[in-house]
Chain A
Amino acid sequence: MREKNNSFKELEAKWEAGLPPELERRVSSQTTNFAVFGRVVELFMPNALQAVAHIIGGTSDEGPQTMINPGRRPEPEQWPDWRTAPGGMK
């Protein structure tokens, strides 16, 4: 059976063949940049926002937990056995 002619499809094939190869590199490098940027945002953004909220005086239960009792030393009874207490006392 003779296949139906479709000059639209022939034209499409001709245009498709003209796709410049460097376009793949352009698209690929841009998508890679977006992916990397997305990962950076995902990793650091939540903590950065919490830190900013903390600095400007907000509170958050889920904020960075590194500033609890800043500068406070543990009580002597909390020191591990292997550690020498200040002044050489055991």
Chain B
Amino acid sequence: MTVVTTPLNAGIKPSDNELITRFLEDQNPEHFTQLYRRYGGKVFAKCISMLNDEALARDAVQDIFIKVFLNLSRFNEKSSFSTWLYSITYNFCIDLIRRKKKIPVLLADDVSRIGDEPMPEIPDSVLLEMKHERLERVLKDLPEGDRIILLMKYMDDMSIKDIAEFFQKTESAIKMQIMRAKHKAQAIYETIYAHDPIES
């Protein structure tokens, strides 16, 4: 068995791209395991948040990493590895939701159905400062499309431009969708916690 020397053993942390290059050179799965250790948790968190099911999320993480493993040679360094990995994660989970629930389109139709009615702006702090236990409960009750777009915006700090590119929508449509999702989240919060609106 080949012993991996150099920075991995020497305690110097190689970058993601270095690990990928080494893996493509010698096909040593240890390099890939390093990538898994870095991003397994993040991917798992995204899967749980989107799929709302821990067992499904576990299987999804495994499938996503195998998919990444088999397609690693196609990774071009135009974006960072994490961006590439997260977009695979989002696509995988969205496909899974579509197949399970037989929803034809998650976001596109919703966005195009939004009317011109004015909506009051809800500050980000309403969601960002919510207790995380309550936020988890609210996210659970949100429709998938709204949940995913809020996670992209507030959990992954994706820009409106990147989200728009991902869904192949215009930036204004995405802004509108985020605003709508925030309104829905607030409405769910008010329904669930009507008896205790102020967090203690």
Contact = CB atoms under 8 A, between A and B. Distances in A.
A interface, by DSSP: helix, strand, loop or mixed?
helix
A7 B27 CA distance: 40
A8 B37 contact: no
Nearest to A29: B29
A23 interface: yes
A22 to B, nearest CB: 9
B128 A5 contact: yes
A18 B54 contact: yes
A22 B154 CA distance: 29
Given A12-B155, A16-B44, A7 B70 contact: no
Contact of B128 (A8, A20, A24): A8
A5 B129 contact: yes
Given A5-B129, A7-B132, A27 B65 contact: yes
Nearest to A16: B41
Interface string A26-50: 1110111011001100000000000
Interface residues of B, number: 36
Contact of A9 (B27, B29, B155): B155
Interface in B55-79: 58, 61-62, 65-66, 69-70
A16 B42 contact: yes
A24 B30 CA distance: 11
B131 A31 contact: no
Nearest to A13: B45
A19 interface: yes
4 shortest interchain CB distances as A-B pairs:
A16-B41, A15-B45, A10-B132, A8-B154
Interface of A: 4-12, 14-20, 23-24, 26-28, 30-32, 34-35, 38-39
Interface of B: 27-29, 32-33, 36-37, 40-42, 44-45, 48-49, 54, 58, 61-62, 65-66, 69-70, 125, 127-132, 135-136, 139, 150-151, 154-155
